[in-house]
Amino acid sequence: MYAFEYQKPKSLADAAARAANEDAKILAGGMTLIPTLKQRLARPSELIDLGGIAELKGIRKEGNDVVIGAMTRHADVAASDLVRSTIPALADLAGMIGDPAVRHRGTIGGSIANADPAADYPAAVVGLGATVITNQRQIPGDDFFTGLFETALEPGEIITAVRFPPAQKAAYMKFRNPASRYAIVGVFVAQTAGGVRVAVTGAGPSVFRQKEMEAALSKSFSPDVIKDVKQSPDGLNSDIHASAEYRAHLVGVMARRAVEKCG
């Protein structure tokens, strides 16, 4: 780890002002940033710890939606009665992230701001048609993830919360990397007010919607109707653990299993 200044602002405004410095890094749960620093792969001049800003924490209901503060830990989402009763698939997903230590440190805001291609939360954000709320604006989930570790966030823009609309039915299925336990492929399937959504994480450089499956499931929400939908391996990730072809195949398997899990 290289030396850096550590700041723990009390207000969002203060944090945002500091974050405007392009050599600064925002610290949420630190589950990716701290290992990156320890491996000396990043050299920020300043770390801005959001842990001191009370308004970023907590889970609340707004109308029918569940709003989760950016600094809410995965374990708190997994255990939340409100989330479990409103969108049980979201609580399930949070409970599948990493391991207990990660779930007690990692945050939803940190996860989606980092936009790891193998992270779980992006599948829920896109799969449920959630809205990312920042200190400046509201960004539709569909527009938030723009590429490999890239998002629509502008410099100095800080996620404050994520708003999830409820779904009639939803489920997340994840095929874990045997080493890291990240998603080799994760598929979030939901029947929402705006139609069926199928969001795929882990397979590509960024989370994406499987539109052919969505179309088929809109006609009949059953695993059989997507049996013959072929996910193309083109552009999917390939590494020692899974080829693009294997990932493409797993998208189908995980999608069918997610639909089955919806009941």
183 φ, ψ (degrees, to nearest 5): -75, 120
Interacting residue ranges for other proteins, rule: CB under 8 A: 1-2, 39-40, 175, 178-180, 182, 240-243, 246, 249-250, 253
Contact 102, 110 (CB under 8 A): no
**Residue closer to other proteins (CB basis): 57 or 246:** 246
Minimum distance from residue 50 beta carbon to other proteins (Å) = 25
Minimum distance from residue 205 beta carbon to other proteins (Å) = 18
CA 198 → CA 46, 95, 117, 128, 254, distances in Å? 39, 20, 16, 9, 11
Minimum distance from residue 123 beta carbon to other proteins (Å) = 18
Minimum distance from residue 178 beta carbon to other proteins (Å) = 4
Contact 187, 123 (CB under 8 A): yes
**Residue closer to other proteins (CB basis): 168 or 180:** 180
**Residue closer to other proteins (CB basis): 159 or 183:** 183
Minimum distance from residue 143 beta carbon to other proteins (Å) = 29
CB neighbour list of residue 68: distance below 8 Å, 6 or more residues apart: 59, 77, 83, 108, 161, 162, 164
Query: Cα separation of 212 and 214, whole Å?
Result: 5
**Residue closer to other proteins (CB basis): 35 or 194:** 35
**Residue closer to other proteins (CB basis): 150 or 260:** 260
**Helix H or strand E segment including 212:** helix 211-219
